Amino acid sequence: MRSKGNYDVLNAVADSFILSADPVLGDLMSNLRLQKLVYYTQAWHLAHHGGPAFPDRIEAWRHGPVVPRLYQRFRNYGGGAIPLVVATSDIDGVPDSVEEIIKAVWSQYGGLTAGQLERQTHMESPWKQAYTPAPGTMRCENEITHKSMRDFYRQYLS
């Protein structure tokens, strides 16, 4: 396991989900769906372990939580499927605590579509508290704080 240095946990988490999808069975990973799975990974890691899985900020955009750096990486795919070949991170280097959460998130949310995940996040207080509609074509860039995610998802721990 590698968890120090310049290892990019965010991209490794994303690539883990991309590789978990099975396009042969019609299980496609879009940027929108990926954003929600990565969000849940951060939220559940905060709830279970108290600290973040990755350092990047998560923002409350119109269609739900978004990690801007991850959005930029995959924005050229629009709403389409992200091909498996773009998953180039060393996913074997993901810290054990993060790998455990990735598996739990995939088990809980992996069968949901992008639209279902969007609706789910819109019903939960971390996004609802951070999101404010922006005028015109501007987007809301309010941060969904670690504290709001940790506090909200901790209530589901048994």
pLDDT score at 1 = 40
User: Is 101 among the domain residues?
Assistant: yes
Q: What is the dihedral of CA 34, 37, 40, 42, to 10 degrees?
A: -60
**For residues 157 and 48, is the Cβ–Cβ distance under 8 A?**
yes
| Total structural domains within the chain | 1
Task: Report how far residue 36's alpha carbon sits from residue 14's, in angstroms, rounded to the nearest whole number.
Answer: 10
Residue 3: what pLDDT?
41
Q: How many residues does the chain have?
A: 158
User: Which DSSP category does 29 fall into?
Assistant: -
Q: What is the pLDDT of residue 4?
A: 46
Domain assignment present for residue 4? The answer is no
DSSP at 57: -
Residue 3 placed within a domain: no
pLDDT of residue 6: 57
- The answer to whether position 145 is within a domain reads yes
- Pair 40, 105: CB distance under 8 Å: yes
76 domain residue, yes or no: yes
Instruction: Give domain status of residue 139, yes or no.
Output: yes
Q: Which residues pair with residue 143 across a beta bridge?
A: 59
Those residues whose C-beta lies under 8 Å from the C-beta of residue 88, and which sit 6 or more positions away, are 15
Residue 128 belongs to a domain: yes
**Closest of 32, 33, 11 to residue 21, by C-alpha:** 33
* Inside any domain, residue 109: yes
Q: What is the mean pLDDT of each run of 10 residues along the chain (158 residues)?
A: 63 96 88 98 98 97 97 95 89 92 97 97 97 85 97 90
Q: Which residues contact 6 (CB under 8 A, 6 or more apart)?
A: none
Output the pLDDT for position 40.
98
Query: By CB neighbour count within 10 A (0-12 exposed, 13-18 middle, 19+ buried), where does 141 fall?
Result: middle
Domain housing 83: 9-154
